[in-house]
Chains A and B, each alone.
Chain A
Amino acid sequence: MTTLQSNQFCNTNEDPRNRPQLIRNHTDFGSVTDDILKGNDAARPPKSWWFALAISFSMMSMLGVLIGYLIVTGVGVWGNNNPVMWGYPIVNFVFWVGIGHAGTLISAILFLFRQKWRTAINRFAEAMTIFAVICAGTFPGIHVGRVWLAYWLFPIPNQMDMWPQFRSPLLWDVFAVGTYFTVSLLFWYLGMIPDLATMRDRATTKVKQIAYGVFAVGWRGSMRHWHRYERAYLLLAALATPLVLSVHSVVSFDFAVAQLPGWHTTIFPPYFVAGAIFSGFAMVMTLAIPARELWGLKNFITMRHLENMCKIILFTGSLVGFAYSMEFFIAWYSGELYESFTFINRAFGPYGWAYWIMVSCNVVTPQIFWFKKARNSIVIMFTASLFVNVGMWFERFVIVVTSLANDFLPSSWGIFEPTWVDVMTFFGSFGLFMTFFLLFIRYLPVLAIAELKAVMPAADPHGHGHSYNEMTPETDAQAALAEEDE
């Protein structure tokens, strides 16, 4: 393993001639595997991992207890009531589904566009997707009131001859989210097979050998295996691509198909998709920054990766901002009384505070990424990503609550007040999410090891004296430039 003298991780130079390698401080494959699996190979995980797991697990247990309380008592423990029947559960559902979107975008669309930098973040972005969709699925499941009848969501033949309403977007949602979960899971698992085989081969205990062996489904890394694997991966990427756009479009139909002012607009599908990708990338960033510190992945998730994500956040954040302003414009331009009222009420009515939290977090905050200094500062981008997460939750809160609370008929207006159960259930879902995530980084290959190797120069030996292995990894000039950026 060749270790460079200066230990810098900055490769954000815009000029590719002066830009150091995507993967830092590694010139051979073996050291990449060693480095990525360091955390998994260690006999004991670091203290910080235990600490984080303890917190997450307690929060998850709280979620379980609260769901039990809900089932035993009934949905009256929530603040949902006439006229705001949807309340927190649906806000949280849309929030979590939205977060799930970055996973497929990174794994499918960026793959088809041959964006090499995706290889360092796709594995855990996909994991994040799956865990986020699990959190998302929990909420409609418990929101149905009679949890033991939640299977009625699915069109199962039954002696009652009773079917879900096929004309309702709520049913389309069941299919959209179900498909999304299935495809994401398959994609995630398929991509992991070669790495699981690596972990199987490195396993030191019998239990690990067998466990990883089962999930590696007999992978031996033969040429034929690789050939079929890459075909399947490409096909799944193509299948998953439409899902990036379709799932949150269908989620937006839950609102757009209804007649309520503030919901019934054609801008909803693209607006929701942009928002989903926005929030998804913010969450990837929120997870990636601590994970690369904790798990020592700075050589793989480099400044360049983070900077690229900053740019996507800037772009999608501006799209979302554009959508907010278009909603206002159309409300005025349509001359529709109720529509205009709804939007003025959103910004200056009883929920105005939520609206302005949303705007300042989602529209104003990302604008800082116009500056390269901000895109290269861990502190700034981490803070901004947290703001975006908060803002995107408030976006869903504003959409769900304001439209329901003040609709056409003033006599049926009302104010939504969440209960402590609402709030703690939402925090509990973060516990569920983080518990899964922490178990994932400890027990599964956190980065796509095999794929990462393919984007290293060592994967492309020329055999006539100037492959990466045989020359100085970086010229002095490049190193100096890189250092400057840092």
Chain B
Amino acid sequence: MNNNDNAVLAGKPNRRQAMRTMGISALGLATFGALSAKAQIAISASETTSPFPVLTLSKTDLSILNFALNLEYLEANYYAYATTGFGLGDQGVDITGTGTQGTVILPQGAVAGTPLVTFNDPAVQQYALEITRDEIEHVKFLRGIILAAGKTPVAQPAIDLVNSFVGAGNAAGVSNFSPFASSNGDLNFLLGSYLFEDVGVTAYHGALTSFSNAKSRGAAVGIMGTEAYHASIIRSQLYDLGSTAQAYALAIANAINTLGGAGIAQGLVNTSDTTLTSNIVPADSNAMVFTRTTQQVLNIVYLSPSGAKGGFFPNGINA
């Protein structure tokens, strides 16, 4: 493995930031070589960050951005632990702020620095790394614009990446589900990711009309776009794995629909139009992605039809 890999991931100013604590061997372009299962932590140099726009944040705008920040803490930790074995705090991201700061519940036997997922398909690993980098950047961006506006971001709340998935799996008819169990290739990791990604899109979409300030709204639109790219990648990878994966995805969608709004989550196969097979885009009959309210999103991440704390946030989100 190439130990000089931070150089590989360093970006130009208009490119995405390096994930500075990663040590991953660069892939050749002609064939996808398998990446090493172990990622090294490197001592990070101080990172050049983009100047954050100075926004005027109303109380509403701040609460929306902080709500989003909670979700990004969840996603970023999930992907970071999956791909690097390190969470946000370990990656040098500031996770302090208002509310109660918490830690991440990991599977038994997790070792710091050992990725929780052993990837089968190098392409999936690449996508997971790319998404990890994006979600970390979203955390930093949301914190950055909140701080630049003279406000305080919420701290990372307690996050559960174990019992939550077991609960979600049970609701979908799968017992003892863990996205980090690599026994059936990348299927479990993709299903775990699938749970979050469309929710993120609908959460941002649903929040847009609540913003007071157009620039704050613009930030949310931009993040929504990226989350949609992510969701599509995960969904199409799952679709391509065939009927078993599609069946699991449908079961998860049905379970989510008992929590976060009937009909919004959709499986990967179009079952109503005989001329279409794939359903990569979960959308309405105008081919527009859906919205969810804050409450619907909380019901999902709490895994509670009544919105009671639990699920991925055992102590609730920070506000």
Q: Do A and B bind each other?
A: no
A residues whose Cβ falls under 8 Å from a Cβ of B: none
